[in-house]
Chains A and B, each alone.
Chain A
Amino acid sequence: MSKTHVATHINGDSYEFLCNTQQTLLDVLRHELDLKGSKEGCATGDCGACSVMMDDRLVCACLVLGVEADGKKIETVEGLSTGSSLDPLQQKFIDLAALQCGICTPGVLVAAKALLEKNKNPSEEEVRFWLAGNLCRCTGYDKIVRAVLEVAAEARNT
C-alpha cells in the first residue's frame, strides 16, 4: 500500500516523511525520524511518556496519526536543550534526582514546560493536577513536583 507524504515542522526544523496511515505520530518520530526521546509506555494515552506539543497544545503522540502532523508544528523533548546547554527543567531534574529509570522523564519535561509557559507561578496542587497524565512508577512524584516548583520560582526571580 502506498505511503502518504507528510510535511511538518519539528523543533523548528522542516521535516518531510512518508508514512503508513496507521502509524501514529509517536511511531513516526521514533522509527522514521529517529527522534527517540519520546517514549512509548502504554500506547493508549494513559501514561504520558510520549507527550509532545502539537501547535502549542500538549498531546500524547500515541493518540495522533502521523498523517495528521501535516502542516503542524511539533515540539518534542529533543527541542528543549540549546546545543549543549540544558533547559532549566532538565538541569533541575538532574540536580534534584527527579528521575530514576527515565522512561517517563521526556514526557514529564515536555508537559512541565507547557505548564510553566501557561502559568509562571503554579501551586503544588496545580503542578500535580497538570502532570496527572504523566505516570511515573519510580520517583513517587515528589521530586518531580519539587523540581518543577523550583524552576518556576527561579524563573520568577531572574
Chain B
Amino acid sequence: MNYVVPKTALEASKALVQEGAFALAGGTDLLVKLKTKFVSPSMVVDIKQVPKIMGIEATADGWWIGAATPCAEIVEHESFCKDWPGVVEALSLIGSTQIQGRATLGGNLCNASPAADSVPALISARGTCIISGQSREREEPIEKIVTSPGVTALEKGEFILGFKLPKPQSGTGDAYLRLIPRSEMDIAVVGAGTTVSVDKNKKITSIRVCLGAIAPTQIVLDGLEDIFIGKEPDENSINKLVSIAEAACKPIKDKRGTIEYRTKIAGVLSKRTLTIAYERATNH
C-alpha cells in the first residue's frame, strides 16, 4: 500500500484517479475498513495537507468548513455554534470524544451511510459542498452527493474540499435529534434535522426537514411550504408534518428497529425538531 500526501488539490485528484486509490481524512471509517479487510487499497491519499481542507472560518456570506476538519474543532468554534446549533448537535453525536478528534464532515458524507448524523443537519441548513477534481471544481447541494448506501455521485479523482453554510438570516433556527437504543455511541435508528426561519410576527418564512436512516439516502420532506409558510405552527400543521414524515419512510428492518418503529419515530423526531428549531428561530 502506497501512502502519498499531496500538497495541492490537483495533485490529490491525480493520485485519487488511480486504480485502488482511497482518500484518507480522519480515518475513522477507512482504518476500520483496512483492519477488517473490507477494502485493500493500493494507495492511500492523505488529503489533509491540501490547502483550505482543514479549518473552519467565517466568510463574507456564511461559513467555510474544510472537509477534513475534525468535528472536535468545529464544535469548539463559539460563533459557529451560535449560528448553527442544530448542525453542532449532529456533529457532537458522532462517536466518542476520541472519534470526534479525527472524524470529519467530508468523511461522514462520503462514507455514504444512510444513518450519518451530520448529513441531515447540513442538508436542512441548505449547505453545499465544493468538490475538487482533475479538471474543475464544482459546487453541489449536499443532498446530491449520496446516491445509495456506500455510493456517492463523486467521479473518479474527485474529493470534497469543503462545505459552505449560509449565514443564517435573522429569525432562523435549526435542530437535530436522533434516536438510538442507548444513551450514546450508537448508530441512528432515525435522525432528523430541521431548519426554519420566521418573520417578526413569528410566522414561518422557510422550512426544511431532512430525515436520515429511514431510506437508502437522506430524504428532504416535500410539501411543507404549503402547510407552514405564513403561519405559526399549530396542532393541525404539525400533524400534517408527522404524516408526511411517516409517508416518506422506506426504512430497513434491523436489530435497532422494525420498519413500523422507524416510521413512527420519524414522525416524532420531525415534530420535536420543528418545535426546537421554531423556538430557536423566534429567539434569534
Please report A residues at the B interface, Cβ cutoff 8 Å. 4, 21-22, 24, 43-46, 48, 51, 54, 57-60, 62-65, 67-68, 111, 114-115, 129-134
The answer, yes or no, to whether B24 is at the interface (CB within 8 Å) is yes
Interface size class of B (residues with CB under 8 A): 20 to 34
What would 26 A/B residue contacts be, using CB atoms closer than 8 Å? Answer: A4-B3, A21-B2, A21-B44, A43-B35, A51-B98, A57-B101, A57-B102, A58-B72, A58-B98, A58-B101, A59-B98, A60-B102, A62-B35, A63-B28, A63-B98, A63-B99, A64-B27, A65-B3, A67-B46, A68-B24, A68-B27, A68-B46, A115-B97, A132-B185, A133-B97, A134-B96
Q: Does B151 contact A (CB under 8 A)?
A: no
Contacts of A65 in B (CB 8 A): 3, 24, 27, 31, 44, 46
Q: A130-B97, A132-B97, A133-B185 are in contact. List 11 more A-B contacts (CB 8 A).
A: A22-B34, A45-B28, A45-B99, A63-B98, A64-B27, A65-B3, A67-B3, A68-B46, A114-B97, A133-B95, A133-B96
Q: Roughly how many angstroms separate A64 CA and B185 CA in the complex, as a whole number?
A: 20
Complex-state Cα separation, A67 to B43, whole angstroms: 13
Q: Flag if B98 contacts A45 (CB, 8 Å).
A: yes
User: Does A44 contact B36, Cβ atoms closer than 8 Å?
Assistant: yes
Interface centre among B27, B31, B32, B98 (most CB of A within 10 A): B98
CB nearest to B76 among chain A residues: A118
B residues 56-76 touching A (CB-CB < 8 Å):
70, 72
Contact for A57 among B2, B44, B72, CB less than 8 A: B72
Evaluate contact between A63 and B97: CB separation under 8 angstroms: no
Asked if residues A59 and B101 are in contact (CB atoms below 8 Å), the reply is yes
Find chain B residues with CB under 8 A from A68 CB: 24, 27, 46
Q: Are A132 and B96 in contact (CB under 8 A)?
A: yes
CA distance A129 to B31 in the complex (A): 24
Residues of B within 8 A of A (CB): 1-3, 24, 26-28, 31-32, 34-36, 44, 46, 70, 72, 95-99, 101-102, 184-185
Most chain A CB within a 10 A radius of its CB, from B35, B46, B184: B35
Least distance between A122 CB and chain B CB atoms (Å): 12
Chain A nearest Cβ from B155, distance in angstroms: 26
In angstroms, Cα B72 to Cα A58, docked, is: 9
The winner among B27, B46, B101, B184 for most chain A CB atoms within 10 A is B101
Residues of B close to A43: CB separation below 8 A: 35
Q: How far is the CA of A62 from the CA of B99 in the complex (A)?
A: 11
Measured CB to CB, the closest approach of chain B to A30, in angstroms, equals 15
Considering the chains assembled together, what is the distance between the CA atoms of A67 and B46 in angstroms? 10
The contact of B70 among A21, A57, A60, A114, by CB within 8 Å, is: A57
State the CA gap A128–B3 with chains docked (Å). Answer: 37
Shortest beta-carbon distance from A40 to chain B in Å: 11
